[in-house]
């Protein structure tokens, strides 16, 4: 056999023969709102600081971006609040999409009244914010009849508009990161009606959940705030499903009894009207279980007309999500 000589790079151009070092780009995460929004805080809490934020001014636009591989790799969307309740429209957007729930974030929400520096409460005639934020702070404004509450698309966008317009008679309800980003004064801090104010966000991915691994749809959490829950190989212990049942007595009860018998803890159940079918409903349910979730889902399917598994993932923990202040 002929001897094969070793090929070497000519002198002076060795660097050209080396494989280029590829720096992975940050994960692109879609959010509802603009920079400084609570959605951004939730996204950074789940994925870490080294991410790219893709803003959308409406939930429908967010779901469109989340479905587009040219725009995003994942998305974070609010689904319910401990004071204002469920965001029903987002349940419909979720079922109309092909996205998978791959995680969740519970974020402690602290709302502030933001104004231009130097503005006072007497100067205000309008306060703008997202409808859910207005609902969370309704009690604060009951004794301020001279202030009109105006709905907007986003808390942080409301703050940005106050900053751009430079009008002292308009304020905004938003979080502290929005005040810092847009140079506004916090006239009143923590104006939410109840201090235990939490919003639950779903983490969405185009990659189908398999029920194994990190529960992040192929993405690992970076810089986690809670190592106990966010360990790389922590098994999924929560499922989100939607289903319809036969329109007969006991059909929903049989499903709930099955979950109880299997030791599953029902953490959420929500009914949403079925379009075009008056007084019929689709049910959305979340449950946690120590046992194998896929076995429970197999037993659940025959008791429904149609069962859709929205995602199987690792549950979040609302008790500790406010310990780490995100860097925005």
And the tokens for 184? Answer: 């506004």
**Choosing from 201, 219, 243, 287, which is the catalytic residue?**
201
Catalytic annotation, pick one of 100, 155, 176, 199: 199
Q: Ramachandran region of residue 217, left (φ > 0), alpha (ψ -120 to 50) or beta? A: left
Residue 216 annotated in active site: no
Put the strands of the sheet holding 238-244 in their side by side order. Answer: 265-273, 281-288, 238-244, 306-313
Of the CA atoms within 13 Å of residue 284, those in its CB half-sphere come to 22
Q: Annotated catalytic, 214? A: no
Instruction: Return the closest-CA partner of residue 207 out of 78, 103, 288.
Output: 103
Instruction: Please name the residue that has the structure tokens 């709102």.
Output: 33
Which residue's entry shows tokens 């549950």? 315
The whole-angstrom separation of Cα 193 and Cα 58 is 25
Tokens (6 digits) for 227:
């190592």
Q: What is the greatest pairwise CA distance in the chain?
A: 96
Residues annotated as catalytic are 199, 201
């Amino acid at each position: 056999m002929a001897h094969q000589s070793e090929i070497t790079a000519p002198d002076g151009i060795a660097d050209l023969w080396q494989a280029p070092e590829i720096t992975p780009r940050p994960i692109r995460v879609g959010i509802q709102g603009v920079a400084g929004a609570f959605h951004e805080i939730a996204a950074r809490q789940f994925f870490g600081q080294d991410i790219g934020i893709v803003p959308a001014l409406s939930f429908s636009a967010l779901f469109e971006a989340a479905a587009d591989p040219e725009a995003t790799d994942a998305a974070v969307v609010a689904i319910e609040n401990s004071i204002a309740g469920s965001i029903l429209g987002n349940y419909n957007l979720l079922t109309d999409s092909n996205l998978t729930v791959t995680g969740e974030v519970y974020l402690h929400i602290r709302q502030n009244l933001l104004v231009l520096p130097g503005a006072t409460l007497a100067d205000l005639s309008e306060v703008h914010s997202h409808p859910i934020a207005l609902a969370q702070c309704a009690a604060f404004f009951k004794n301020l009849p001279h202030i009109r509450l105006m709905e907007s698309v986003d808390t942080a966008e409301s703050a940005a508009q106050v900053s751009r317009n430079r009008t002292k008679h308009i304020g905004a309800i938003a979080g502290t990161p929005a005040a810092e980003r847009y140079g506004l004064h916090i006239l009143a801090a923590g104006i939410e009606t109840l201090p235990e104010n939490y919003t639950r966000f779903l983490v969405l991915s185009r990659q189908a959940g398999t029920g194994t691994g990190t529960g992040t749809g192929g993405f690992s959490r970076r810089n986690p705030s809670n190592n106990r829950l966010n360990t790389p190989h922590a098994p999924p212990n929560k499922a989100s499903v939607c289903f319809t049942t036969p329109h007969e007595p006991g059909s929903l009860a049989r499903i709930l009894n099955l979950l109880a018998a299997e030791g599953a803890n029902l953490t959420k159940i929500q009914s949403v009207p079925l379009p075009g079918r008056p007084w019929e409903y689709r049910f959305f349910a979340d449950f946690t279980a120590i046992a194998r979730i896929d076995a429970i889902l197999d037993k659940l399917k025959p008791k429904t007309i149609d069962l859709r598994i929205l995602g199987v993932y690792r549950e979040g923990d609302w008790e500790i999500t406010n310990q780490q202040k995100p860097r925005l």
